Amino acid sequence: MKRYLYTASVKAASGTQTFYVDARNKEEADARLADKDTDGIYMHDVEVIALDEFEFEGETEVTDFGDFPEPKGEV
């Protein structure tokens, strides 16, 4: 079984993202954040509201993504 990959740009989303900043003190962290300089996302709760059109990205094997349950029905 193959897996077909499609990409769509997110046009609108709603929710939150919590970023983390490693710094010696809060002032340094605030200064980095003012420049949008973070060390990553700690957690997120985002719902996509609108997507652009899907564009074909490529194909691969299902096994490339790890263990998945077998599909139901005939393939």
Q: What is the pLDDT of residue 64?
A: 74
The 10s digit of each residue's pLDDT in 30-70 is 999 999 999 999 999 999 999 999 999 988 887 777 665 56
> 5: pLDDT confidence band, cut at 50, 70 and 90?
confident
pLDDT at 74 over 70: no
Q: What is the pLDDT of residue 70?
A: 63
Helix, strand or coil for residue 25?
coil
Q: What is the pLDDT of residue 19?
A: 94
Q: Where are the alpha helices (DSSP H) in the chain?
A: 26-34
